[in-house]
Amino acid sequence: MILVAVLLAGLVRAFAFPTFWIPSSSMAPTLGVYDRIVVQKAFFTWRDVREGDIVVFSHPPLDHCPGPAGDLVKRVIALPGQTIYSSGNGIYVNGRRLAEPYLPHYDPLGPPVATRQHPYRVPPGEFYLLGDNRADSCDSRYWGPIRGSSITGKVVLVFWHDDHPDFRRF
């Protein structure tokens, strides 16, 4: 019975709700370096992704940024078909400023997204992703939008934050 329970728990962790750790500060302050997260893979489809979700996805093929290979974690900013641009430190989606209560007010944007005169339209089936630490994140500003099919799951829980247990749901 114990062997079956351990096997079942291992399968659930590997295929339904795997855990990941955050190797960089690109998602700070929401996710810090070495935070541990749980990702929903079971019953997940990229068609369920919403603006503001934090997702795990396969490393983009045109990534010119230094850093770890493998899966990455970023926040969904714009959905397929939406337009996006930046002005000052603000992000605008479909012409409206994006409310970002998860960011500190002093957080600089870093490289711009596009301009009001020439907004970027996210192609069908693709998503525009940014790290919460905009000044120190390699994201869609560098490698463009990512295909929905490369999104492997959605972050649902942080269970270790800043070197201590901390259970936060997303």
pLDDT at 16 over 60: no
pLDDT at 49: 94
The pLDDT assigned to 11 comes to 54
Overall pTM > 0.85? no
pLDDT of 164 reads: 60
Percent of the chain whose pLDDT exceeds 90: 36
pLDDT for position 106: 62
Task: Tell which wins on pLDDT, 107 or 158.
Answer: 158
Q: Is 140 a catalytic residue?
A: no
Is the pLDDT at 167 greater than 70? The verdict is no
Is 137 one of the annotated active-site residues of the chain?
no
The better pLDDT of the pair 93, 68 is held by 93
Higher pLDDT, 61 or 117: 117
How much is the pLDDT for 38?
Answer: 87
Of 26, 86, 137, 150, the active-site residue reads 26
74, 137, 150, 154: the catalytic one is 74
| DSSP class per residue in the chain | -HHHHHHHHHHIIIIIS-EEE--SSTTTTTS-TT-EEEEE-TT--GGG--TT-EEEEPPPTT--S-S--S-EEEEEEE-TT-EEEEETTEEEETTEEPP-TTS-TT----S----SSSPEEPPTTEEEEE-SSGGG--SHHHH--EEGGGEEEEEEEEEEETTEEEEEE-
136 or 55, higher pLDDT: 55
